[in-house]
Structure 1
Amino acid sequence: MRQVLIPHQLHDLPRDLPQGDIITLNGLSMGTSWSVRYVAQPTLGHDQTAVQAAIEAALAQVVQQMSTWLLDSDISQFNQLPAGRDIIIPRDFATVLEKALQVAVQSDGCFDPTIGALVDLWGFGPAEAIHAPPSPAAINAALLQSGWRKLGWDSANRRLTQPGGLKLDFSGIAKGFGVDQVAASLQQLGLAHYLVEVGGEFYGQDVKPDGQPWWVALERSDDAGTLDEYVVAIHGLALATSGDYRRYFEYEGRRYAHTLDPATGWPLLHAPSSVSVLAASCMQLMRWRQP
């Protein structure tokens, strides 16, 4: 069964249709694939090589600053600091950190960007994957190293102080920020009609030459095993989907997925298999448990 979702923003679609071909570019970044579709208007003279370079540069900067898979990234350098040492972080890193801390406050810690030790312990980070749950003692020890309130953050000077053993993890927000950065780079090039996708997270703007908005199909499997398809139009909107069906392991008949509860240090027991959310920017689409 197909269901069509039409957001309110569609009333703001431009009346003048763009003239030009739809160009598709793609590549690899952030441990996943990306793709961009845009309308190349002849009067603007967009060079595909320049567009691809701008996209790759935007994503590479996010990776260099916020990837825990890179030992020399800014986030990894902070995670390796001894207690009491600090680091001056780049502006984009600071933007993402401040948004993450804002949501940590609003959610009372349901979203917590400081649970990197727990993410690694459960094998969902750059550390080697595991096939059985860690011990309760190890989980408690990682919990003691975590907690956004422990983070020393001087926003005026972008100075971040390591309290000792704390590991930042931006897996729930950095990819969305990357989508936003790609969209911003396209806007800077004068492109106004496009669809950005990075690892299943999207941002769409304006329309295609035939007047249609950018449509994205979502698939959801229910407990009965049937498959419904949802198609959503995105214009001036970001879309992200998260669930327990991609990163998990099974042990003694139970599934342990990558959505961790910062309060207990354990994966959620009764989380939905998949949730899709729309927002004005992709960075806002952070994955956190409901209290």
Structure 2
Amino acid sequence: MIKGAATPLFLCKEVVVFKSVYMAMLLSFSMLLTACSEDKMPVVHLQGETMGTTYNVKYVVPEGSEPQSDLKKKIDKRLNEINALMSTYDTGSELSRFNQNRYTKPYPVSAETLTVVNEALRLGDMSNNVLDVTVGPLVNLWGFGPNKRPETVPTEQQINDVRAYVGLDKISTTDTALLKSHPMVYVDLSTIAKGYGVDQVAAILEQQEIHNFLVEIGGEMRLKGHRGNGDEWLVAIEKPVTTERAVQKILSVGTNAIATSGDYRNYYEQEGKRYSHLIDPRTGKPITHSLVAVTVVSPSSMTADGLATALMVMGWDEARSLAEKEDLAVLLIRKTDDGFEEYVSPAFEQVVDVRN
């Protein structure tokens, strides 16, 4: 049971719980709050590792479906294909080879990589370049990448030196290639690639005539239909505090994807100042605003994944403005002197059923 959760609330439901709003990590499925009534239809749970994290797939078994071992092989194969294209940890991946390339001429890449990059560019344009898949060098500079955390915070000169090769204006695409305008440009699709993976796994399930499922990779989720006893899937969003594991909201999102982002867990303090892991590419510095958590619901997990990060970096006012302008289904939570304040966009109210 999740600490701080009200037990009666979950007696006859299965609730998927986001463990950390920062990476939207799920609690392990062993900690799902299961229903008191048994499933009327058989449900399969597949799990594994991918993209430096884990995946979970639950689906109601239709008549005549293929053995679950065969389906898992298809899922693993598909996720391995995506990882081989877009991983920044695999030095031999297609994206890593592009990043290692120091030339500014067109670099041929797969149609899949172009699909994800083009969506990142579209969302970057929508968010006034706040979603920036070239921001990785700044993240590393501030000590949130694979490098050791710096003993002192970066100087303005160091920040400006790195910003010289950060920015969406420094990458572009053709029908067959990815280009960089500066030899040091480094593209990291981690803010959107997991969502793409979720969408691809969902496509595999639908090709197998599986229409009641939950797919999750590293906390990014897509849901469709119902669980084994006919009840809808429910998702619990964690309260954005570090002192306990408590539920902020329980949501029914229908046939949609859901993604969250936040900054209340991944940060460090130096000389009494707090530094978030989320870097605003417009300043080259960690965010300092009061917005602590963002939840986005969208038909596409890839889109929800990218937007959650963009809105979190933007802050309360900008995020609200963009949500209303673009008709985005968004839940924002900010810290106030009295606790927390929530904003629910009109689109969110239309597509999401809040259960508490």
TM-score bucket of the superposed structures, by smaller chain: 0.7 to 0.9
Q: Matches of 2:223 and 2:151 in 1, distance apart?
A: 38
Contact 1:68 1:126 in 2 (8 A): no
Which letter does structure 1 place at the counterpart of 2:273?
R
Contact 2:114 2:178 in 1 (8 A): no
Aligned with 1:215 (options 217, 225, 234) = 234
Which letter does structure 2 place at the counterpart of 1:35?
N
What is aligned with 1:9?
Answer: none
Q: Matches of 1:81 and 1:38 in 2, distance apart?
A: 42
What is aligned with 1:272?
Answer: 291
CA separation of 1:132 and 1:199: change in aligned 2, threshold 3 A: farther
Q: Matches of 1:223 and 1:214 in 2, distance apart?
A: 26
Q: Matches of 1:172 and 1:222 in 2, distance apart?
A: 23
What is aligned with 1:15?
Answer: none
Residue 159, structure 1, aligned to residue 180, structure 2: no
CA separation of 1:50 and 1:225: change in aligned 2, threshold 3 A: closer
* TM value normalised by structure 1: 0.86
CA separation of 1:196 and 1:132: change in aligned 2, threshold 3 A: farther
Which letter does structure 1 place at the counterpart of 2:43?
I
Residue 191, structure 1, aligned to residue 213, structure 2: no
- C-alpha deviation, 1:278, in angstroms: 0.8
What is aligned with 2:248?
Answer: 229
- C-alpha deviation, 1:131, in angstroms: 5.8
Secondary structure of the 2:196 match is helix
- C-alpha deviation, 1:27, in angstroms: 1.2
Percent sequence identity over aligned pairs? 33
Which letter does structure 2 place at the counterpart of 1:121?
L
- C-alpha deviation, 1:222, in angstroms: 5.5
CA separation of 1:128 and 1:47: change in aligned 2, threshold 3 A: farther
Which letter does structure 1 place at the counterpart of 2:96?
S
Cα deviations by residue, 1:156-195 (Å, 9 ceiling, x for unpaired):
2x21123211111112111111111111111122211100
CA separation of 1:221 and 1:101: change in aligned 2, threshold 3 A: closer
* TM value normalised by structure 2: 0.71
- C-alpha deviation, 1:213, in angstroms: 0.9
Q: Matches of 1:134 and 1:234 in 2, distance apart?
A: 42
Contact 2:86 2:193 in 1 (8 A): yes
What is aligned with 1:142?
Answer: 162
Q: Which runs of 5+ in 1 are unaligned?
A: 5-17
What is aligned with 1:111?
Answer: 131
What is aligned with 2:262?
Answer: 243
More contact order relative to length (CA 8 Å, sep ≥ 6) = 1
